Amino acid sequence: MDQIYLSRRNLLTLLSKLDRNKNGEETACAIIKPNNRPSFQNTMDMCKITAVDDDEYYKDFEAGIVHPKDDPDNKL
């Protein structure tokens, strides 16, 4: 199984891109992750990670179960 490491900063950046997209700003909603870190090596040379809003991503199926402490619906 391939492994991609995302930092908190990466995740917050993607969330910001989703918010900016929702507000009509132009953004690709993506970050590029090169495999050039001494630790937390991705298992691919490079990958593109694209953020997709829930209403678009889950339009054809329901979201899977997550631990209640991690469920975003419980953090509102």
Residue 24 belongs to a domain? yes
- pLDDT value of position 4: 94
Residue 21 belongs to a domain? yes
Residue 34 belongs to a domain? yes
Calpha distance 5→16 (Å, rounded): 18
Residue 75 belongs to a domain? no
- pLDDT value of position 37: 85
Residue 41 belongs to a domain? yes
Q: Where are the alpha helices (DSSP H) in the chain?
A: 8-22, 54-57
- pLDDT value of position 76: 66
Could you tell me the maximum CA-CA distance found in the chain, to the nearest angstrom? Answer: 39
> What is the domain count for the chain?
1
Residue 37 belongs to a domain? yes
Residue-wise pLDDT for 1-42, tens only, equals: 999 999 999 999 999 999 999 999 999 999 999 998 889 999
Residue-wise pLDDT for 31-65, tens only, equals: 999 998 889 999 999 999 999 999 999 999 999 99
The answer to whether 46 touches 34, Cβ cutoff 8 Å, is yes
- pLDDT value of position 72: 83
Residue 69 belongs to a domain? no
Quote the domain boundaries for residue 24: 1-55
Torsions phi, psi for 71 (to 5 deg): -65, 120
Residue 48 belongs to a domain? yes
